[in-house]
Structure 1
Amino acid sequence: MAITDWPSGERPREKLLQRGAASLSDAELLAIFLRTGMQGGTAVDLARQLLQQAGGLRALLDLRAARMARLPGMGAARRAQLLAALEVGRRYLAEPLERGLPLDNPEKAGQLLTARLRGLPYEVFACLFLDNKHRLIVFEQLFQGTIDAAAVYPREVVRRAMEHNAAAVILAHNHPSGVAEPSQSDHAITRRLVEALGLVDIRVLDHLVIGDGGWVSLASRGAL
Structure 2
Amino acid sequence: MSIRNWPEGERPREKLLALGAAGLSDAELLAIFLRVGVKGRSAVDLARDLLNGFGGLRQLLEADRTRFCAEHGLGEAKYVQLQAVLELSRRHLASQLERGGALTSPALVRSYFASQLRHLGHEEFAALFLDSQHRVIRFESLFRGTLDSASVYPREVARRALELGAGAVIFAHNHPSGIAEPSDADRRITERLREALGLLEIRVLDHFVVGDAEVVSFAERGWI
Residue in 1 aligned with 2:158? 158
Structure 2 residue runs of 5 or longer lacking an equivalent are: none
The alpha carbon displacement at 1:145 in A equals: 2.6
The alpha carbon displacement at 1:195 in A equals: 2.9
Superposition pairs of residues 138-149 of structure 1, within 5 angstroms:
138-149=138-149
Superposition pairs of residues 1-224 of structure 1, within 5 angstroms:
1-6=1-6, 9-98=9-98, 100-103=100-103, 106-224=106-224
Q: SS at the partner of 1:114?
A: helix
Give the partner amino acid of 1:96.
Answer: Q
Q: Distance in 1 between matches of 2:102 and 2:192?
A: 25
Q: How many residues align?
A: 224
Give the direction of change, closer, same or farther, for the CA distance of 1:8–1:73 in structure 2 (3 Å limit).
Answer: same
Aligned residues with identical type, % of pairs:
59
Q: Distance in 1 between matches of 2:220 and 2:14?
A: 46
Give the direction of change, closer, same or farther, for the CA distance of 1:7–1:179 in structure 2 (3 Å limit).
Answer: same
Q: Distance in 2 between matches of 1:66 and 1:193?
A: 40
Q: Distance in 1 between matches of 2:13 and 2:108?
A: 34
* RMSD, aligned α-carbons: 2.7
The alpha carbon displacement at 1:8 in A equals: 5.0
Q: Distance in 1 between matches of 2:58 and 2:2?
A: 27
Which has the higher mean CA deviation after the structures are superposed, 68-77 or 104-113?
Answer: 104-113
Asked if the contact 1:113/1:172 (under 8 Å) is kept, the reply is yes
The alpha carbon displacement at 1:128 in A equals: 0.8
TM-score normalised according to structure 1 size: 0.83
Q: Distance in 2 between matches of 1:117 and 1:145?
A: 13
The alpha carbon displacement at 1:4 in A equals: 4.1
Give the direction of change, closer, same or farther, for the CA distance of 1:99–1:3 in structure 2 (3 Å limit).
Answer: same
Asked if the contact 1:180/1:215 (under 8 Å) is kept, the reply is yes
Give the partner amino acid of 2:173.
Answer: H
Give the partner amino acid of 1:82.
Answer: L
Give the partner amino acid of 1:176.
Answer: P
Asked if the contact 2:99/2:138 (under 8 Å) is kept, the reply is no
The alpha carbon displacement at 1:42 in A equals: 2.6
The alpha carbon displacement at 1:189 in A equals: 1.8
Asked if the contact 2:65/2:79 (under 8 Å) is kept, the reply is yes
Give the direction of change, closer, same or farther, for the CA distance of 1:77–1:185 in structure 2 (3 Å limit).
Answer: same
